[in-house]
Amino acid sequence: MKNLKILILLLSVCLVSCEDSLWGIPLETWKQARGSGNFSFLWNLNLKSQNIEDLKILGPGAFYTLGSLFENQNIPESARILWEGSLKYDPVPYSLWAYRDLAQVNLKSRNYESLEAISRQARFIFPEDPEIWRDFMEALYWQKKDRDFLTHLDAGLGMKLTPEKNREMVLFKAVVHSRLGMVEAPMLWKQFLELESSRLHYRAYTFFEEDQKRYQILSELEGQKMVLKALVSEKKGQEVWKRFPKIHDQDELWKSLADFFDWEKFFIQAGQIPLGIKTFEKHLYNSLGEHKSTLEFLLYRLNLQVGRKGAAESWLLKSLNSAAGDREVSRSLTALLNFYLQKSPVQFIEILEKYASEKTLAALDGLLDSAKAQFVRTRRWDLLVRGWKKVAYFASDTTKASWAWVILRGGDYGLLPSSETLTQASDFKIRILQWAPLSYSAFMVRAMNGVRWSPPSNPVSTTPEENPGVFAPYQDLLDYGLAYKAYLKLWNGNDLVPVGILKKTAVRLHEQGYYLESQRLMIRAAARDPGALSTEDWKYRYPLAFDDLIRKSAAQAKVAADLFRGLVREESFYDHKISSPVGAVGLSQLMPATGESMKKILRLDPLASLTDPEVNLQIGSAYFSQRMKDLGSPAKALMAYNAGQGRVRSWIREFGQLPVELFVEACPFEETRNYVKKIFSTVSIYQGLYSPEEKETALSLIYPGLR
């Protein structure tokens, strides 16, 4: 009896001690780790020897968040074990996140056996999720489990996939039915061939080329159509021409809109544009009016390719007159306006006056901005004023503000054609601030009036209060030090995530040095609810990242720190590792050749990396300072930083007598115009947030002497 009491006492002590620890680690240690984000005690654990289910004691989401920590430490096997546990034990959304991450890993490694296993398991938990069904079907397809594929095909009926995934499923079905020799295969290939050409057609083409006997599934014309679509999608129209030199004479291959655009690409790639024009004309006359506007539009483009501008213009006008429906009208009108902007600005305005409407102009911001630039560059203020009468009614608010600002400045310099317009321009300042309060035009209006921008003192949110249950999973990611993981879920996930989640995650990202991602989320929060950003929120949208280094490098180069900060922010959003598609690197986006030459001038270590913030900022500030000295104008130096000094000098020769702010407006490069304007706006916002009493303003820094 005495021994039994001792045994019971020992068991109770063991139970208490077990409840106070997990996998031999005190629960207090787990709790402290969650607060600090330091889980280093986990990395050497062999999870295969642990009872994974024990993690449930840590609460919802423990499996997923801990798995993500192992992923960060590049311990993929432990991450996989925990994510599989999440799929089994965690509630939504953790379990769904775990599935998505597991699926991504398997798709990337093409481990379709594992993808089948996890997607099969996930389908029992999320039977209506279209992406899980789609992953499951892809896994079966690549493993050639064709009977299983057909068995589960009907489960996807009614599920909404992306257009690209829908098209890929058409290919999957056609291939599976072909591999099984089923009678439905020809019909499915016919359906696939009606799709617009893409890389999918090249994948289909390789399927047929692997075994030439497979072409027997298709008719002779369908086989030619497959080759045409596949090779054109890969820009190999010349190969089609060599293989089938009479293919264009097959009338059966000219049936749909998708076919017409394929033929255009074919004739261009094959170097047979004159033949293409002749063939398109033949089909236009035989079309009985069907697709007439599209055929005429493509004849315009083909004639333009070979320099037949008169014929191109004629076909484009016909295309516009034949257009039926908003899409055809918009396509032809946009092309015609572009054509006349280059050929005859007067005709551009005439077409604008004739066809302008809210539907046609609302999506033409870029084109209207280019027109405005050309009118300023060629001093056609009369055309600018005529165009304004349509822009004022039908364009977007940002475009209205931009045109109004230029007309306002034109009036100030006495460049406008009539006093009537000057009178009309007198209230433009108020309108600009109403139309687009955060636009360059609005910042210029404030600056010219000696007023600094300031953030709203009492932000008013228009979105509902946060639901703690909705935010809890994201808060868990933040608590575990997984701010970047939370960012990925928010950036690539549901657009309707509450604004508060976006803002809180942005703050944590900033604290962990993810400045680019932090700003992105704050920008999205502002887009969702413009009135919800407080002054502190604005400071995360426009942070003082790398502030000491920016000030130091600017001082060394004798450049205003506020101006250089604006440049850096717009170039990289403070991502010091970023690389552009053309190869520009780092905070101030330096081309490698520029970096190498500037290292020699500055006597820096030749091996110094452009991704090193200090090195990059030192070179970037010195390079910008050189442009300032060479061109004598901060605005022109910014243009040179973006477009190159040679181009800016050519623009100075062409229209350099314009006042500097109108010189910027006249720039032929939309990107360069917007570059200067973005930096002006950014500097204005930074000064409003951090140095409202500073004597120097964006106006004095970028347009010194402008009043």
pLDDT per residue over 323-380, tens digit each? 988 889 999 999 999 999 999 999 999 999 999 888 888 889 999 999 999 999 999 9
Q: What is the mean pLDDT of the chain?
A: 92
Q: What is the pLDDT of residue 69?
A: 95
pLDDT at 457: 76
Indicate whether 253 pLDDT > 50: yes
The pTM assigned to this predicted structure is 0.91
Residue type at position 448: M
Asked if residues 461 and 531 have their Cβ atoms less than 8 Å apart, the reply is yes
Q: What percent of the chain has pLDDT over 70?
A: 94
Quick one: pLDDT at residue 463?
Answer: 57
Q: What is the pLDDT of residue 498?
A: 84
Query: What's residue 16's pLDDT?
Result: 37
In the 8-state DSSP scheme, what is residue 16? H
Q: Rounded to 5 degrees, what are φ and ψ at 143?
A: -85, 0
Q: What is the pLDDT of residues 95-118, one digit of tens each?
A: 999 999 999 999 999 999 999 999
Q: Is the dihedral of CA 38, 41, 43, 49 positive or negative?
A: negative
676 or 2, which is more confident? Answer: 676
pLDDT at 449: 92
Looking at residue 34, its pLDDT comes to 82
pLDDT at site 13: 35
Rama region for 75: left / alpha / beta (φ>0; ψ in -120 to 50; rest): beta
Per-residue pLDDT of 70-86, as tens digits, reads 999 999 999 999 999 99
From the candidates 571, 654, 670, 693, give the one annotated as an active-site residue.
571
Residue 10: what pLDDT? 34
pLDDT at 358: 82
**Element of type H or E holding 25:** strand 25-26
pLDDT band at 8 (very low <50, low <70, confident <90, very high): very low
Antiparallel, parallel or unpaired: β 25-26 and 21-22: antiparallel
| pLDDT tier for residue 424 given thresholds of 50, 70 and 90 | low
Tell me what pLDDT residue 464 has.
55
Mean pLDDT, residues 256-280 taken together? 94
pLDDT at 9 over 50: no
pLDDT at 607 over 70: yes
Choose between 467 and 89: higher pLDDT: 89
**Torsion on CA atoms 12, 15, 20, 22, rounded to nearest 10:** 160
Write out the E strands in 520-583.
Answer: none
Active site residue 571: yes
Q: Lowest mean pLDDT: which of 198-212, 468-482, 621-635?
A: 468-482
Please tell me the predicted confidence (pLDDT) of residue 6: 40
Contact 427, 392 (CB under 8 A): no
Residues 190, 195, 198, 199, Cα dihedral to 10°? -40
**For 89-94, which contacts have Cβ atoms below 8 Å and span 24 or more sequence positions?**
89/53, 89/55, 89/56, 89/63, 90/60, 90/61, 90/62, 90/63, 90/64, 91/60, 91/61, 93/473, 94/60, 94/61, 94/63, 94/64, 94/65, 94/473, 94/476
pLDDT grade for 3, boundaries at 50, 70 and 90 = very low
Task: Retrieve residue 322's tokens.
Answer: 């034949």
Whole-angstrom distance, CA of residue 186 vs CA of residue 181: 10
**C-alpha dist (Å) from residue 369 to 386, 387, 428, 545, 620:** 15, 11, 18, 32, 29
**Residue-level pLDDT at 446:** 95
Rounded Cα distance, 42 and 345, in Å:
69
